[in-house]
Amino acid sequence: MDSLIEQHKNSESRARLSTQRILYLRAQHGEQVDVEVVAETGSTNADLMARLELLQGPVLRIAEHQTAGRGRAGRVWHSVPGGVLTFSLAWYFPGTSQALLGLPLAIGVAIAECLLALGLPVSLKWPNDILKDKKKLAGVLIETAAARQGGSWAVIGVGLNLSVPDALETHIGHSVADAPWLAQMDRNQLVAQLLNSLAAAMEEFRQQGFAAFADRWNRLHAYAQQEVVILDRGQVVQQGLALGVDAQGCLLLQTAQGTLPVISGDVSLRAAATP
């Protein structure tokens, strides 16, 4: 793994991430967000979670390399410098954390719509994965905490695969998607466009909740009208036809017992095995 990291450090030819460049490229809602670029850190999510009481407004923290990135359910998010874009966005919401249940799906919509505008065909897997060619391209991890002044902070961690070498895919243990076209972009421009999309989505979510995103999510649903299983700690807990999501972000499954809502948590979705 060390040689893989060195290889990418030595071969990286794209522009390095720059705080000033990203700040300059922000637009509209993104202009209210402060930006921090660091060469390396354990986890951008952990960094921001540790500083929530000191934050005066929204902050985007992005690292050239994360050494302890995390995904849902405590999973490790593997990365190499230049090959995976990893960042976190801290955002304050006036409501309680209970009001943020649909936020991961709204984040997925914002990222997917940004990537689609850049010409990358993507779809969404409930609750919070962005897919390309039915393989994971990006993931989202959201952590929340009560704010001292009332309301809640959400720290939204995003990992986006740009260029995944074979050695990293082997290390992960399964195939993933990447986006060589995006890997050729100025990464500061890419980050700024993602920030603008996410900031606009945060304002929309604050005002209208997930209801404003439900139809958009369903249009991007990777498993629409397909038979799927819902797993909890590796065990199948539900199976049915994936109809889409409701205004709260619950997945609607058509089962023999009728239409059942599945609430997002540490459960995961898979295509059902074909007979």
Is 270 annotated in the active site?
A: yes
Pairing of strands 59-66, 268-271: unpaired
Catalytic residue among 21, 26, 136, 187: 136
* Distance separating alpha carbons of residues 65 and 231, to the nearest angstrom: 31
Check 9, 16, 75, 270 and give the catalytic one.
270
Output the DSSP codes for 145-190: EE-TTSSEEEEEEEEEES---HHHHHHHTS-----HHHHTS-HHHH
What count of Cα atoms within 13 Å lies in the side-chain half-sphere of residue 95? 12
Q: Is 125 annotated as catalytic?
A: no
159 contacts 86 by C-beta, under 8 angstroms: yes
Set 26, 70, 72, 132: catalytic member: 72
Q: What pairing do the DSSP bridges indicate for beta strands 227-232 and 123-125?
A: unpaired
Regarding beta strands 152-161 and 135-146, do their DSSP bridges make them parallel or antiparallel, or are they unpaired? Answer: antiparallel
* 126 touches 198 (CB < 8 A): no
Residue 136 among the catalytic residues: yes
Catalytic residues: 72, 136, 270
